[in-house]
Amino acid sequence: DYNPDQWSEAVQEEDARLMKLAHWNIATVPVFSWAHLNPAEGAYTFEWLDRVIERLTRAGIDLCLCTATASTPAWVAQHYPDVLTVDEQGRQKPHGNRHAFCPNSPSFRRLGGALVREMALRYRGQPRLKLWHVNNEYGGLWPNYCYCPRCADGFRAFLEQRYGSLARLNEAWSTAFWGHTYTSFTQIDPPFAHGERSIQTMILDFRRFQSASYLACFEHEARILREATPDVPVTTNLMGPFFALNYHDWAQALDVVAWDNYPRHDTPFTEVAFNHALNRGLRGGEPFLVLEQSPSHQNWADYCRLKPPGKLRLLSLQAIAHGAESVMYFQWRKSQGGIEKFHGAVVEHHGRSDARVFREVSELGQELAALGQRTLGARTPAKVAVVFDWECWWAQKASSGPSRDLDYHAEVVHHFAALHAAGIATDVVGPHADLARYDVIVLPVAYLLRSAQARAIVERVRAGATLVATFWSGVVDEDDRVHEGGAPGPLREVLGFTVEEFDALPPELEQGVRFASPLGSLGADVTHEASLLCERLWLANAKPLAHYTQQFYAGDTALTVNEYGKGKAYYLGTRLAQPTLLAFFAAIAAAHGIASPLRDGAAPPAGVEVTKRVSPSGEALLYLLNHGDVPQAVALPAGVYVDALSGETFEGSATLVPRGVRILGAAS
């Protein structure tokens, strides 16, 4: 992100010089410049941006042009108050900040669209225009759903469209409960914080509606851009697992997935890995872009912790190891004032190029230039899929019970993290993904489970795949109505049991599980920690694998397996701790010949991450990343390997310094 309109032309000259020095090759401009480009309705002042583009072009810097609609100018709000949003208390928010427009405001669409059209027509011939970046981090100022009268009208129209009739809506929303039956669509309001909160399907539907409303804003701008520049890809910067927007819906509208990676200083690397895998999964495994990351700290974090030397490189190469094809920054030059004046930037307030951060950015740029095309276009050959589903997240969050500690997103990350720690290549896929290429399907806490989705999973198991489903799965359908006959609903047959009852454990209560006979490296003579939720099961065809050790149901079945067609379906009726899960997944995957790409399929040492990507030419690159503070040696499969970064050769094992990275290709 380059925000030249905050600086004099003399500083901008210096910027161009420094960018070359920093091995920067693309600049995102002008993300927040609506007011600078369009100071009054119909008036445009693009001349300053012309000069910026000319200067960047002269310096050989490519352009990621942003449509600049994320920060609505004050004059727009003054003359067209329909752009202002209303919060869930029903209060109109005053103009200010950014990302503060109603997604259903006609004035926002009209005036924003006019700016986008001007910009697209003006710059469509620019030879260095590589990418359109629409708006910025839609919904970014969470909570940013809008409850204004236009959104309320839009919500009613959305419901009429979704349900077709009031009778169908009343059924889907279970309005017979507490006597909530509606007799006209006009009686329905958005779910205000102090209003209707007992119809949980309404809350779920409002989330669907708001996500679709923001998406319509994106599509509106994208349409204008595609008309003007059909060959330039159009995207927007997503935010990883961002609750408000269903990115599986969004991804279809993007030409390339792009996201902003801002781990906090203590974010586990497996969680960052999950975020990358999530983005890679949005468009069926296609590579993606990292559009923003901070070269040093994030001023919005509780503590502005520096990234220690090598951390920026490690995080950047981690992104590439999972499928990223760009390393971009927020931002180029630290602003002099405003809320982000202490946010990390490539050029700091002192403006010097002999600074540590500047040097690290330059060295990384140089290294990436040397890698050239080698990592591009590659795919992760994963045979294991973990399902992540926004609607399930929304429904679970809206639901009262079963436990205040049950966080859908955290549970999916927990299960992904175990697979990742085992070194097993794992995709994160949406609920409608094609499962044909996966041998192991992991379904953590699939509380909301559609019948069609369940059918696709059952078919894969029948054909030979292994399903691992967990507690609190198959509870409700897409209307948040409990499946008839009880959980796990449409998975009852494939899993071979019915849930009799569930027990939510407060954190101070202990629970454990013991295996009846050893499973992989999991011995039968030890108790493994369990927590959160314990389900008691009526077994039909399923075989017990492990039982509970505590509470009145000690001895009852906790984990099961069911043979089904040519496949198997496992069920974890409770939450297992990381080491148990890791060993469990390693055993399940091994039955399909799936293991880490390291010697003997072993898990990497703790703190080390391993991934493998296969390029279109067929070259496989092994990425080894040491997130720890101590040196590591990683055992390699047979063969001689050359590090694409350092040129060093390895056989038997590869060494990694703390925060060190190796990208290993087979020696020719």
Q: Compute the distance between CA of residue 210 and CA of residue 554 in angstroms, rounded to an integer.
A: 45
Residue 391 binding target from ligand GLA, Zn ion, none, CB below 5 to 8 Å by type = none
- The residue among 93 and 180 lying less far from Zn ion, judged by its C-beta, is 93
Least distance in angstroms from the C-beta of 97 to ligand GLA: 11
Residues that bind ligand GLA (CB under 6 A): 136-137, 260, 262, 292, 294, 298, 330, 340, 343
- CB hemisphere CA count around 185 (13 angstroms): 17
Residue 146 binding partner per list Zn ion, ligand GLA, none, with a CB distance cut-off of 5 to 8 Å that depends on partner kind: Zn ion
Q: Which residue is nearest to ligand GLA (CB)?
A: 260
Answer yes or no: 271 catalytic: no
For the question of residue 501 being annotated catalytic, the response is no
From the candidates 13, 14, 41, 137, give the one annotated as an active-site residue: 137
In angstroms, the CA 612 to CA 184 distance is: 56
Residue 380 binding target from Zn ion, ligand GLA, none, CB below 5 to 8 Å by type: none
SS3 501: strand
Between CA 411 and CA 298 the distance in angstroms is: 26
The candidate with the shortest Cα–Cα distance to 465, out of 484, 442, 486, 447, is 442
Q: Would you state the structure tokens that stand for residue 203, as one six-digit string?
A: 């809350």
Backbone angles phi, psi at 259, to 5 degrees: -150, 165
Residue 148 interacts with which of Zn ion, ligand GLA, none, CB < 5 to 8 Å by class: Zn ion
Smaller CB distance to ligand GLA: residue 343 or 613? 343
Residues contacting residue 126 through CB under 8 Å, at least 6 positions apart: 53, 57, 63, 65
Phi and psi torsions of 33, nearest 5°: -105, 20
For the chain, the C-alpha Rg in angstroms (whole number) is 26
Binding region for Zn ion (CB under 5 A):
102, 104, 146, 148, 151
Q: How far apart are CA 84 and CA 96, in angstroms?
A: 9
Could you tell me the two tokens for 336?
Answer: 């002099």
Minimum CB distance to ligand GLA smaller for 256 or for 301: 301
Q: How far is the CB of 212 from Zn ion (least distance, A)?
A: 13
Contact 68, 44 (CB under 8 A): no
Instruction: With beta carbons less than 8 A apart as the criterion, state whether 630 and 658 touch.
Output: yes
Q: Indicate the residue among 208 and 307 with the shorter CB distance to Zn ion.
A: 208
Query: Which of the listed partners (ligand GLA, Zn ion, none) does 330 bind, with a CB threshold of 5 to 8 Å by partner kind?
Result: ligand GLA
Q: Which does 102 bind (CB under 5 to 8 A by kind): ligand GLA, Zn ion, none?
A: Zn ion
Question: 136 touches which of Zn ion, ligand GLA, none (CB within 5 to 8 A by kind)?
Answer: ligand GLA
Which of 271, 292, 360, 411 is an active site residue?
292
Nearest to 482, CA basis, from 453, 449, 454: 449
Q: Which does 298 bind (CB under 5 to 8 A by kind): Zn ion, ligand GLA, none?
A: ligand GLA
Minimum distance between the CB of residue 299 and ligand GLA, rounded to whole angstroms?
Answer: 8
Which among 227, 37, 221, 230 is positioned nearest to 129, based on CA atoms? Answer: 230
Of residues 5 and 171, the one with the C-beta less far from ligand GLA: 5
Minimal distance, residue 382 CB to ligand GLA, in Å: 28
477 binds, among Zn ion, ligand GLA, none (CB under 5 to 8 A by kind): none
* Nearer of residues 37 and 558 to ligand GLA, judged by Cβ: 37
Could you give phi then psi for residue 560, rounded to 5 degrees? -135, 165
| Residue in this structure with the two tokens 């507690």, named with its chain if needed | 471
Looking at the Cβ atoms of 17 and 264, the one nearer to ligand GLA is 264
* In the complex, minimum distance from the CB of residue 260 to Zn ion, in angstroms, rounded to a whole number: 24
Between 333 and 612, CB nearer to ligand GLA: 333
Length of the chain equals 668
Nearer to ligand GLA, 138 or 390 (CB): 138
- Which pair of structure tokens corresponds to residue 519? 């499973």
Task: Please say whether the beta carbons of 321 and 597 come within 8 A.
Answer: no
Of 613, 629, 622, the closest CA to residue 645 belongs to 622
Shortest distance in whole angstroms from residue 6 CB to ligand GLA: 13
Q: What is the DSSP string of 385-428?
A: EEE--HHHHHHHHHS--S-TT--HHHHHHHHHHHHHHTT--EEE
CB of 291 to ligand GLA, least distance (A): 8
Q: Which residues does residue 497 pair with via DSSP β-bridges, in sequence order?
A: 539
Please name the residue that has the structure tokens 């503070």. 629
Q: Are 322 and 611 in contact, with CB atoms under 8 Å apart?
A: yes
Q: Which CB atom, from 104 or from 246, has the smaller least distance to Zn ion? A: 104
With both helix axes pointing from N to C terminus, report the angle between 408-421 and 269-282 in degrees, rounded to the nearest 10: 100
Cα–Cα distance measured from residue 23 to residue 14, given in angstroms and rounded to the nearest whole number: 14
Closest C-alpha among 546, 548, 436, 570 to residue 494: 570
Q: What's the closest the beta carbon of residue 66 comes to ligand GLA, in angstroms?
A: 10
DSSP-derived 3-state class of residue 223: helix
Least distance (Å) between residue 140 CB and ligand GLA: 7
The entry of ligand GLA, Zn ion, none that residue 260 binds, CB within 5 to 8 Å by partner kind = ligand GLA
Looking at residue 75, its amino acid is W
Shortest distance, CB of residue 399 to ligand GLA, whole angstroms? Answer: 30
Structure tokens that stand for 576 in this block: 């297992």
Q: What residues act catalytically?
A: 137, 292
